[in-house]
Amino acid sequence: MSSVKNSPKRPRIPNGDASPTQPAAVDGRAGRSGGPRVSRTLLYGLAGSGLLWAAQPPLNAWPLAWLAPIPWLILVRHRSLTGRRPYVALWLAGCCFWLAALHWLRLPHPATSLGWVALSLYLGIYLPLFVGLSRVAVHRWRCPVALAAPVVWVGLELAQARLLSGFSMAGLAHTQHRWLELIQISDLAGAYAVSFVLMCSAACLARIVPLDDAVGGLARRWSAAALWPLLPLAVVLGSALAYGHLRLRDDRTRPGPKVALIQGSIDTEMKHDPTEHQRIHDQYFELSRRAGRQHPDLDLIVWPETMFRDPFIVAGPDARLPAEWTGSRESFDRLVAQRQALIESQALLLGAPLLLGLDTLHFDSDAARRYNSALFIDRGGRLGPRYDKMHRVMFGEFVPLANHFPWLYKLTPLGGGLDAGGQPEAFDLGSTRLAANICFESTVPHFIRSQVAMLARRGQEPDVLVNLTNDGWFWGSSELDQHLACAVFRAVECRKPFLIAANTGFSAWIDADGRILRRGPRRDTGIIVADVRLDGRSSRYLHWGDWPAAACLAACLGLLVSGLVDRRRTALPAS
């Protein structure tokens, strides 16, 4: 994507997204004049990053998200980028946003600071990609910036959600999770639909900003004719809000179960101390007992991820005993039976069905496996289905290649990894069916959607989604807010109530419109009793999946190829 001054003559671009008097350069080689021009590109990049960060927690200045992309879009519209390395400057600006937005990754352990920096360096790549690919669309293909920018942004968001196990927190759409009328379009194309509207609106506003033939000037005068981009902005935003208004008025709810979400607020580092296990259990049991006394008609009590500290042990008759076990096979079988009886007794003592977050040790003939699980126990103390977490967090629950090179775990604070579960599970609660997900699984839109779709194909489509999480690693930071915002979108995308049992917050009761009906405290104990109402509406996103976003990603790949081919052509010497 180099300067085209020596390229074959190209037609002028009449749409005003690039200079109408000269062909556009899209790689920043034009106009090199040293440091000040590099700093201007960096300034625009940092301005957008700063505004987008302010729109995120902890500041939560969400209206700024509508303005945050404008500095980046001005760079897209300019005839050329300034400086010797403008895309490096934009990468640094992107890194700054992610370092600030994900600062909580450094809190669990000193070693996780390396992951914080590494993830931010990777995610920072998406800003220069956005600007570069949008410039190809605007300047090479004469695509209006109000169409090019949202298509490229959504395509890159999908790539970010899929690559390297996927990361979808602190997104552009998440800043709007409180605007119920707007986020209803998520049942059409996921949170990507909200990002599309935000970026399209920002591009229309950026299109109004007058530019001269140089870089960064504001030479043209404002005029009424220059305000025409407000019309497509009004159409796009008005259509989204009209759809949202109609969906919010479409009430097809019916009574569902009464569920108690227990938030014991135990700092995560404490659970590694075996002497604290009994205290943790006693605290959660007492909160559960209190919920049962206040609400004798409870249909379910939910404990957060891993807060039942005694592991659930599963061993078949041909299971190989663990290497560290020094007793007989009979004594091991007695231990397994005792652990299961302990778990079964909890529901009997509380007089209500339980959904417990715990570790599972599964021994079979060839290996021992460890899972992060959600185990259902019915009112009579009978063990029901067990869901084992399927989507593990890289460097949090597993290290790549560590199955072949176990010594890699010695370089991390993990001590050992978790195995991935094989399939989603549904839990029947009378006439209601629930499906559990664990921790950061709720942040990945296609994962939750695929689980619901898979259960539906098995004739077990859930009525309610339940997330068991332990965000105590992050000490009440803005991670709690970001995690909660993701759950709001999962509820709307699937049109299902979404319940969260979180150790240190935020436990929450979210209805199928994405409305947070009740939220637990930040890093404190609490009980949320949700009188869940089931929703009868359908979701296009459950049927279509990510195809609309995938089309945007395909367009990004086409723009990338186009830019690389054009760069190669302009780099060839004249024959």
- What's the pLDDT score for residue 555? 98
Q: Which residues pair with 529 in a beta bridge?
A: 260
Comparing CA positions, the residue from 198, 161, 154, 188 lying closest to residue 553 is: 154
The residues near 364 (Cβ < 8 Å, ≥ 6 apart) are 315, 316, 318, 319, 320
- What's the pLDDT score for residue 6? 42
Comparing CA positions, the residue from 436, 470, 418 lying closest to residue 306 is: 470
Which segments of the chain have a pLDDT < 50? 1-16, 18-23, 28-37, 213-220, 270-271, 574-575
The answer to whether 140 and 27 have CB atoms below 8 angstroms apart is no
The answer to whether 220 and 226 have CB atoms below 8 angstroms apart is yes
- What's the pLDDT score for residue 18? 47
Determine the longest span between alpha carbons in the chain, in angstroms. 88
Comparing CA positions, the residue from 474, 464, 391, 371 lying closest to residue 161 is: 391
What whole-number distance in Å separates Cα of residue 142 and Cα of residue 136?
9
- What's the pLDDT score for residue 11? 42
User: Which residue's structure tokens are 């009579």?
Assistant: 380
User: Which residue's structure tokens are 């397994």?
Assistant: 336
Give burial (CB, 10 Å; 0-12/13-18/19+) of 506.
buried
pTM over cut 0.85: yes
The residues near 546 (Cβ < 8 Å, ≥ 6 apart) are 158, 189, 190, 192, 445, 446, 449
Q: Is 476 helix (H, G, I), strand (E, B) or coil?
A: coil
Q: In the sheet that 516-519 helps form, which strands lie side by side, from edge to edge?
A: 426-429, 432-438, 464-469, 498-502, 508-510, 516-519
Q: What is the helix (H) or strand (E) element at residue 207, kind and residue range?
A: helix 191-208
Q: Which residues pair with 361 in a beta bridge?
A: 313, 370
- What's the pLDDT score for residue 419? 87
- What's the pLDDT score for residue 221? 53
Dihedral angle of Cα 23, 28, 33, 38, to the nearest 10 degrees: 140
What whole-number distance in Å separates Cα of residue 487 and Cα of residue 498?
7
- What's the pLDDT score for residue 383? 94
- Please state the φ and ψ torsions of residue 463, each to the nearest 5 degrees: -95, -25
